């Protein structure tokens, strides 16, 4: 199940301070060992060449080889630690990110994979080689201090060069951030339009809208394309400028070193040492220019996941299994994306064990009301209670397991029919699956399929008819022996036998005292309810016994529809 229980058991941890401290210590040693080659060069020029001692050269070379081997080993170890840490974070938090994506998709009636994308960004940031620039940056002053020890002028030159690159880095951040803001705004709109049009490809093809939408798509793609081109142009220009400045600084420090050697203020070994140490002073700033965007995105993704975890990790008191009493207290439900209320001042009670029909014209809010009971739609105002407890007082996963729900589209997930009926319960018993199918009168139909209950459905398998999907979805709703059953137009795609099975099911739920809410336009279904509510004009117009609300005779057998 993909709800708050997964979030609690898997969770999302904050930055592991032990790992960070260990990497910082290793980075200190690695950076200090970067001085091996510069110091080796100085000793070779200043001692070996003057003394012509091969033994000294050999000893220096062996010692340098040992230190460089140690540096390489430590550098490899810290890389492996960060790699394993990144993948451990990804593995430990994947359940949480997937669960959070499911919850966000439920509440917004759309596909939201942002938490999954955020987790990938966090993992990629941790495992990228560029992450070590952050750990190496605090030790740049060590190399700057060495430059000052070699000669104050070299230190001043290195400090000025780092300052120039730092200014370029700040300018890069400011300019790129502004360009990225425009790109994000235009790109989001463009991606939403593209997704919507592709989702309705059948309608587009059937109505001959291809050429019109292609022209519209090309027009809408101009802004994000231009924004992306501008961002890339500026970013590459700044990188080229930074590279050019760095090469000038390398030449400059070499020239300055030569002048100091000619003036006998430093030894010849400084020529190579100063150039190499200068590169270590400039490296953190230059790497920041290359990697800051990735670091920033990774940090933002971490903060979003951390915030979501803290919001979802509140402990809830375990409540008894629901019996099915539903109360609305001055509830206001809104249109998605607008401030105009769809339904307002809803105050009513559905007693335990009653079968309630919800009727009304199209678009009056019947499905929205049902989703409010499920917790999919959040009330703008007021409280929705089940057995006296508001929905935010209940564990969503536990509540969902006690509710049966058939939506209007009745989509099945990719998997076998048995998996769909059992709600992908890994501990499902075959008997429970078959019992649910028989109760929904779909057992014989399933057996007629090529592989029976093991028939693959969804995007990966057999394409079932709307009626077949609806009846399997009904079995899925009944699998957990729910105390509350919500059926949103369950008869839309049913044939005569399917409708007869639905009517038999409603009789069964009334007999078993299962609270049932059915949304329908068919009188043949509505007349089997005990209570009926009529929605219209943004409010609850009527609510009472079905026979009284719809003026039905005591033994109604009439057919037709209600709107």
Residue 275 in contact with residue 143, Cβ under 8 Å?
A: no
How far is 40 from 51, CA to CA, in rounded Å?
15
Tokens of 334: 């809104």
Crossing angle of helices 430-439/466-478, nearest 10°? 120
Question: Which residue, 265, 287, 280, 375, is CA-closest to 331?
Answer: 375
How far is CA 147 from each of CA 30, 158, 166, 273, 274, rounded to the nearest angstrom? 18, 7, 18, 9, 7
CB 460 within 8 A of CB 412: no
Query: What is the enclosing helix (H) or strand (E) of 121?
Result: helix 114-127
The tens place of each residue's pLDDT in the chain, 563 residues long, gives 334 444 344 556 667 788 889 999 999 999 999 999 888 888 888 778 777 788 888 998 999 999 999 999 999 999 999 999 888 888 887 777 777 777 666 555 555 667 778 888 888 888 888 888 888 888 888 899 999 998 999 999 999 998 998 888 888 778 877 777 766 666 666 677 777 777 677 676 777 777 777 777 777 777 777 777 777 787 788 888 888 988 999 899 999 999 998 888 888 888 888 988 998 888 888 887 778 778 888 888 888 888 777 766 555 567 788 898 999 999 998 865 556 788 888 999 999 999 999 998 888 889 989 999 988 888 888 999 998 888 878 777 778 888 999 988 878 888 899 999 998 888 889 999 999 999 999 999 999 988 999 998 887 788 888 888 888 999 999 998 999 999 999 888 888 888 888 888 899 998 999 999 999 888 888 988 999 999 988 889 999 999 888 886 554 434 444 54
Query: Phi/psi at 219 (nearest 5 deg)?
Result: -65, -45
Structure tokens, 255: 């020239």
Integer angstrom CA distances of residue 318 from 11, 314, 395: 19, 12, 8
Q: Give how far the C-alpha of residue 32 lies from the chain's centroid of Cα atoms, to the nearest Å.
A: 40
Cβ(479)–Cβ(432) below 8 Å: yes
**Per the structure block, which two tokens stand in for 427?**
């501990």
* Other Cβ atoms within 10 Å of 112 Cβ, number: 16
Per-residue pLDDT at 107: 55
Residue 448: both structure tokens together: 């007629």
C-alpha 270/C-alpha 150 separation (Å) is 7
> In sequence order, what are the beta bridge partners of 535?
540
Q: What is the pLDDT of residue 556?
A: 44
Which residue, chain included where needed, has tokens 């028939």?
455
**Any bridge partners for residue 253, and if so which?**
none
438, with CB counted inside 10 A (0-12, 13-18, 19+), is middle
User: CA 167 to CA 285: how far, in whole Å?
Assistant: 10
Which residue shows structure tokens 């989702």? 199
Order across the sheet with 515-519: list the strands.
403-406, 484-488, 515-519, 355-359, 531-536, 539-545
Asked whether the whole model's pTM tops 0.75, one would answer no
CATH number for the domain formed by residue range(s) 4-312? 1.20.1560.10
Helices (DSSP H) in 4-139: which residue ranges? 4-10, 17-33, 36-43, 49-51, 54-108, 114-127, 132-136
CB 375 within 8 A of CB 398: no
The predicted pLDDT at position 313 comes to 55
- Rounded CA-CA distance 147/159 in Å is 9
- Any idea how long the chain is? 563
Q: Helix, strand, or coil here: 518?
A: strand
Largest CA distance in the chain: 119
- H or E element in which residue 326 lies: strand 326-334
Classify the C-alpha dihedral 325-102-473-421 as positive or negative. Answer: negative
Could you give the C-alpha distances from 184 to 174, 177, 223, 228, in angstroms and in order?
15, 10, 11, 10
Domain 326-549, CATH number (from 3.40.50.11720, 3.40.50.300, 3.40.50.10440, 1.10.150.20)? 3.40.50.300
* pLDDT of the residue at 298: 85
Contact indicator for 400, 3 with CB cutoff of 8 Å: yes
Calpha distance 331→535 (Å, rounded): 14
Q: Which helix (H) or strand (E) holds 286?
A: helix 270-312
277 to 27, 133, 147, 157: CA distances (angstroms): 16, 16, 7, 12
Map out the domains of the chain as residue ranges. 4-312, 326-549
Q: In angstroms, rounded to a whole number, what is the distance separating the alpha carbons of residues 331 and 345?
A: 5
pLDDT recorded at residue 329: 92
Report the DSSP pairing between strands 326-334 and 415-416: unpaired
């Amino acid at each position: 199940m993909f709800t708050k229980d997964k979030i609690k058991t898997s969770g999302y941890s904050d930055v592991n301070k032990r790992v960070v401290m260990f990497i910082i210590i290793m980075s200190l040693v690695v950076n200090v060992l970067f001085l091996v080659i510069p110091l080796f060069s100085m000793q070779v020029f200043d001692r070996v060449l003057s003394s012509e001692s091969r033994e000294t050269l050999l000893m220096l070379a062996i010692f340098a080889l040992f230190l460089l081997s140690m540096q390489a080993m430590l550098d490899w170890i810290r890389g492996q630690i960060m790699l394993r840490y990144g993948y451990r974070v990804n593995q430990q938090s994947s359940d949480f990110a997937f669960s959070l994506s499911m919850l966000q998709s439920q509440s917004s009636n759309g596909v939201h994979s942002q938490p999954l994308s955020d987790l990938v960004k966090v993992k990629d940031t941790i495992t990228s080689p560029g992450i070590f620039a952050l750990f190496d940056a605090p030790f740049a002053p060590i190399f700057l201090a060495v430059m000052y020890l070699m000669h104050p002028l070299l230190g001043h030159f290195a400090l000025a060069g780092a300052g120039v690159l730092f200014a370029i880095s700040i300018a890069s951040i400011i300019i790129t951030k502004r360009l990225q803001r425009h790109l994000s705004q235009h790109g989001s709109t463009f991606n939403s339009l593209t997704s919507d049009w592709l989702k309705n490809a059948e309608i587009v093809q059937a109505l001959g809208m291809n050429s019109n939408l292609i022209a519209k798509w090309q027009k809408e793609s101009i802004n994000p394309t231009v924004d992306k081109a501008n961002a890339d142009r500026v970013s590459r220009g700044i990188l080229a400028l930074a590279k050019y400045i760095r090469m000038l600084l390398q030449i400059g420090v070499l020239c300055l070193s030569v002048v100091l050697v000619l003036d006998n203020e430093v030894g010849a070994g400084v020529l190579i040492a100063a150039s190499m140490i200068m590169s270590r002073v400039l490296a953190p700033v230059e790497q920041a220019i290359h990697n800051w965007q990735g670091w920033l995105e990774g940090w933002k993704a971490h903060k979003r996941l951390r915030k979501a975890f803290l919001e979802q990790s509140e402990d809830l008191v375990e409540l008894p299994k629901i019996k099915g009493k539903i109360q609305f207290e001055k509830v206001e439900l809104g249109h998605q994306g607008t401030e105009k209320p769809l339904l307002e001042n809803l105050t009513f009670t559905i007693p335990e064990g009653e079968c309630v029909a919800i009727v009304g014209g199209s678009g009056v809010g019947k499905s929205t009301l049902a989703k409010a009971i499920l917790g999919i739609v959040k009330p703008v105002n007021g409280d929705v209670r089940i057995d006296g407890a508001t929905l935010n007082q209940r564990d969503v996963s536990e509540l969902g397991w006690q509710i049966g729900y058939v939506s209007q589209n009745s989509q099945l997930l990719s998997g076998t029919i048995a998996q769909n009926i059992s709600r992908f319960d890994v501990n499902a018993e075959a008997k429970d699956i078959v019992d649910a199918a028989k109760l929904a009168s779909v057992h014989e139909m399933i057996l007629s399929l090529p592989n029976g209950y093991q028939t693959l459905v969804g995007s990966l398998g057999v394409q079932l008819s709307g009626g077949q999907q609806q009846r399997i979805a009904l079995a899925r709703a009944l699998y957990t022996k729910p105390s509350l059953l919500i059926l949103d137009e369950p008869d839309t795609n049913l044939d005569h036998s399917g409708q007869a099975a639905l009517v038999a099911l409603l009789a069964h739920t009334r007999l078993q005292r299962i609270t049932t809410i059915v949304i329908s336009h068919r009188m043949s279904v509505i007349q089997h309810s005990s209570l009926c509510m009529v929605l219209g004009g943004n409010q609850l117009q009527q609510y009472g016994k079905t026979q009284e609300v719809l003026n039905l005779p005591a033994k109604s057998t009439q057919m037709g529809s209600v709107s």
